[in-house]
Structure 1
Amino acid sequence: MSLRHPLSTLRHYGYLLHYALVRANYQRRLIATTKRVGQTKFRSYELFNRHGKDVLLQALLLNLDDGDVVVDVGANTGTYTLAAAADAPSVEVVAVEPNPNVASQLQANVEANPFDDRVRILTCGLGDADETREFHLSNYDELGSFSSAHASAWEAQVVDTAQVSMRSLDSLVDSDAVPPPDHLKIDVEGYGVNVLRGAESVLRDYRPTVYFERHDARGRYDESAAKNLLREAGYELVPVREGWVCEPAATTTTSHSV
């Protein structure tokens, strides 16, 4: 067994302590502090403003209009969901989070704010088929994934597995379980291309703006295929720090693409 570099070991135990403190805060609902994304404010039980400075999130808020529908795939504890709901008074958000433990934290954050009637949480995964799949729970809560390789990234370890319901976005929209989105954010730890394959009709018929967070290729999952899928669907990809802002070609105003 290879030994970790001392800095990696320090980082590993720092993450473990962080997640332990966060879990305790959620379990006891001790302190929900105000977080800010630009001029937008909301409350959450996170200890830090995680993802609050994401360029993808700033792009989402910039593009939001009253009455828009946001589907937040891989919502985690809800930074994108909470910021979108707080940014415009009539925005509707469907937050999709397959990790049951993290979904309960997301629910706590929604309840800490005055817009729970505009946020709906789906505790399932999104992929390319309606089925049940094995979900890998990580000791770094944020890294839980349908890919065991991604759930064990950054010195993390898979601590358990759970059988989780998987849906495709196409089937959810077709059945009226989810309204057609104007904005589709995808951050699913290596499973993003599967989400897109299950949303081909939505991309073709409703043309949402897509905010896609890239992850390193690990195991059987390589999200470089997502770039080709989006281009074939008629999207222009604008690179940002975390991934791509993907706009339907007919409405794209920028000449820069990946």
Structure 2
Amino acid sequence: MSFFHPVAVIRHVGFALHYALVRANYKGRVFATKKNVGQASFRSYELYNRHGRDVLLEAMLLYLRDGDVVVDVGANTGTYTLAAAAKSPTVDVVAVEPNPDVASQLQANVEVNGFESRVTVLDYGLGDRDETCSFHLSSYDELGSFSEAHASAWTARVVDTEEVPMRRLDTLVEDGEIPPPDHLKIDVEGYGLNVLRGAAWVLEEHRPRIYFERHESRGGHDESAATDLLRQHNYDIVQVQDGFVCEPQA
């Protein structure tokens, strides 16, 4: 006999209702309310100020300078992207989001803020190979991942699997498709180690600051392997809340 814990049921229903309302708001482009992160203000179709007190995001905004380039890997609907673009009119952002529906929501947020000339949205994934890979769409949009286990975390479930392009950050920069980043944010639901492996040349040659979101191990990357790799590239790692701020040594 199977049964569901009441707390898990309530959580599942709450999340399902939230995402249904969010999708409806994006589809109709009804309410794009003002959000604030530190000194950065922007508008988005999210229903609340997601990541409004995100320590990693606040750290990035603290270090951000005029003319910098941000590569936002796992951009979701764009909180980091929008905050960076709002911080300075000369900051450029490359926002990478492989979930096609979420990438469309991200583009809607870029447009409502008038950031189209400074924000490039790439609707594919970053990893350690240049090929097509299986991406698992989650019933909780933000949990979509190349790791099936992460896409089904927190009472979520995998609703579909799509083949999407994957690129190495090294390839994109070496080929001139995107500029070298000054800041690299990685929040990819268990696939962060793969992103770092595909960015070895960028880490050595261009030395971006890295803002790395931690995730529980559910068949995705090994967190210790990711930090070991960063130390091999001579990065100092400071743990903050749910992530790492990684500073390149001189």
Tell whether the structures are fold-level matches, with TM greater than 0.5. Answer: yes
**1:192 maps to which residue?**
192
1:161-240 correspondence to structure 2 within 5 Å: 161-240=161-240
Alpha-carbon deviation of 1:220?
Answer: 4.9
Range with bigger deviation, 2-11 or 74-83: 2-11
2:54 corresponding residue in structure 1: 54
State the distance in 1 between where 2:220 and 2:21 align.
33
Per mean C-alpha deviation after superposition, the further-off stretch among 213-222 and 40-49 is 213-222
- Aligned equivalent of 1:116: 116
| Corresponding position of 1:9 | 9
CA distance in 2, matches of 1:195, 1:37: 26
Could you say which residue in structure 2 is the equivalent of 1:135?
Answer: 135
2:235 maps to amino acid: Y
Tell me how many residue pairs correspond in the alignment. 250
Contact 1:216 1:222 (8 Å CA) reproduced: no
User: Counterpart in 2 of 1:68?
Assistant: 68
Whole-Å Cα distance in 2 between the matches of residues 12 and 72 of structure 1?
28
Amino acid of the residue matched to residue 72 of structure 2?
A: D
- Check whether the contact 1:191–1:223 (CA below 8 A) recurs between aligned residues: no
- 1-side partners of 2:188 and 2:52: how far apart? 18
8 Å CA contact 2:169, 2:202 repeated in 1: yes
Contact 2:193 2:225 in 1 (8 A): yes
The aligned amino acid for 1:178 is I
Alignment RMSD (CA, Å): 0.9
Q: What is the rounded CA distance, in whole Å, between the counterparts of 1:230 and 1:165 in structure 2?
A: 25
Equivalence for 2:43: 43
Alignment of 1:142-157 (within 5 A): 142-157=142-157
Matched residue SS, 1:117: coil
Q: Shift of the alpha carbon at 1:203?
A: 0.2
Q: Which runs of 5+ in 1 are unaligned?
A: 251-258
* CA–CA separation in structure 2 for the residues paired with 1:30 and 1:2: 41
Give 1:219 shift: 2.0
Deviation digits for residues 125-152 of structure 1 (CA, Å, limit 9, x no counterpart): 0000100000000000000000000000
Q: How many Å separate the matches in 2 of 1:24 and 1:60? A: 31
Q: Distance in 1 between matches of 2:84 and 2:204?
A: 24
Does the residue aligned with 1:71 lie in a helix, a strand or coil? strand
Aligned-residue offset at 1:2: 4.6
Aligned equivalents of 2:220, 2:145: Cα separation in 1: 13
- Report SS of the residue matched to 1:34: strand
Partner of 1:243: 243
